[in-house]
Amino acid sequence: GGIITQTPKFLIGQEGQKLTLKCQQNFNHDTMYWYRQDSGKGLRLIYYSITENDLQKGDLSEGYDASREKKSSFSLTVTSAQKNEMAVFLCASSIRNTEVFFGKGTRLTVV
C-alpha cells in the first residue's frame, strides 16, 4: 500500500505571512488535490492537478497558489495568511474516478 505524507503537521504563522504546505505520495497516482476543512465542516477544494505541471483551480483558490513539479509531490502556498484561515489542510491523491486517499493533514494556526 501507499502513503501520503504531509509536512508540517502543525504550522503557526503570522497574519500576512506567506506559508507553504507540502505533500508527497508514493501511490504513483496521477491526480492530487488540496482541500481545506474548517472545524467540524466539509471539505472545500482549493486546487487539484491531473498530472505533473498541471494546475486546476477549485472553488476556494483565491489567496492560494499551488505547484506540481513532480508526479509525486504537490505543494500549496498561502500567499498572505489571514486569521480566519485557521483550518486543517488535507492533501489527497487518486487515479481518476477511483478511491481518493488522504494524508493526515496540516493544521494551520494564524496569530
Partner 1 sequence: QQKVQQSPESLIVPEGGMASLNCTSSDRNVDYFWWYRQHSGKSPKMLMSIFSNGEKEEGRFTVHLNKASLHTSLHIRDSQPSDSALYLCAASASSGSWQLIFGSGTQLTVMP
Query: Least distance (Å) from partner 1 to the CB of residue 99?
Result: 5
Using the rule CB under 8 A, which residue among 10, 14, 84, 99 binds partner 1?
A: 99
Using the rule CB under 8 A, which residue among 103, 106, 108, 110 binds partner 1?
A: 103
Which residues 24-83 are close enough to bind partner 1 by CB under 8 A? 31, 33, 35, 40-45, 48, 50, 56, 58-59
Q: What angle do CA 95, 92, 20 make, to 5 degrees?
A: 135
Nearer to partner 1, 17 or 53 (CB): 53
By CB under 8 A, is residue 97 in contact with partner 1?
yes
CA distances from 29 to 2, 8, 11, 49, 91 (A): 10, 22, 26, 11, 13
User: Can you give the binding site for partner 1, defined by CB under 8 A?
Assistant: 31, 33, 35, 40-45, 48, 50, 56, 58-59, 90, 94, 96-97, 99-100, 102-105
